[in-house]
Amino acid sequence: MNFKALGAKLGLEEKEFQELMELFVQTGAADLERLRAGLADGDADQVMRSAHTLKGASGNLGLAEISAMAHTIEQHALNHRLDEAAQGFQVLTGRFEAIQSEV
């Protein structure tokens, strides 16, 4: 992941963007855990709220793929299709872990 290029799109220096990414990884991990718990509990509202938070945070950082995946999960939860949300969660978790390893 090119932190310099992503940061430049937001008008940030590479170091500033790196710091934001570190914060995203920390808070995103907690959001993913809440999303996982919501799926385990069958709580569509919790899944929707957690996915919405991830969607916004990743979108603000220019992480379009993560944001789009979180949006899809949010929509599945809104429509009470938690099986489909769970499938998306698996993919989202993999992408998040890839970002986490780069930060």
Each of the 103 residues of the chain gets a pLDDT tens digit; together they read 777 888 888 888 889 999 999 999 999 999 999 999 999 999 999 999 999 999 999 999 999 999 999 999 999 999 999 999 999 999 999 999 998 998 8
User: Residue 73: which domain range?
Assistant: 13-102
Cβ neighbours, 10 Å, residue 51: 29
59 located within any domain: yes
Q: What is the DSSP letter of 80?
A: T
Q: What is the DSSP letter of 52?
A: H
Predicted pLDDT of residue 64: 92
User: Distance between CA atoms of 94 and 31, rounded to whole angstroms?
Assistant: 14
53 located within any domain: yes
Question: Looking at the 3D structure of the chain, how many domains does it have?
Answer: 1
Looking up residue 45, the CATH number of its domain turns out to be 1.20.120.160
Predicted pLDDT of residue 82: 97
